[in-house]
Copies of this chain bind each other. A is one copy, B any other.
Amino acid sequence: MESLVMYLCRQNTLKMRVISRLGEYGLRALMYMAAQKNESTYFNIRLMSQELDISFHFLTKILQGLTQRGLLQSYRGPHGGIGFLVPPEQITLATVVKALEGEDFFHNCLLGLPGCGERQPCPMHVFWAELRERLRTEFETTTLADLGTQTLEQHLRLKA
Contacts and interface: CB of A to CB of B under 8 A. Distances in A.
Interface of A: 4-5, 8-9, 11-19, 21-22, 24, 27-28, 53, 61-62, 64-65, 68, 101-108, 110-116, 120-124, 127, 131-132, 134-135, 138, 142, 146-147, 149, 151-152, 154-156, 158
B19 A120 contact: no
Contacts of A135: 131
A154 B111 contact: no
Given A4-B61, A61-B4, A64-B5, A15 B154 contact: no
Given A5-B64, A13-B102, A61-B4, A108 B149 contact: no
A13 B103 contact: yes
Given A65-B5, A155-B116, A14 B111 contact: no
A147 to B, nearest CB: 4
A8 B26 CA distance: 12
Contacts of A155: 113-116, 120, 122
A137 B102 CA distance: 28
A8 B61 contact: yes
Contacts of A120: 151, 154-155
Contacts of A156: 113
Contacts of A65: 5, 8-9
Given A16-B18, A64-B5, A123 B102 contact: no
Contacts of A5: 61, 64-65, 68
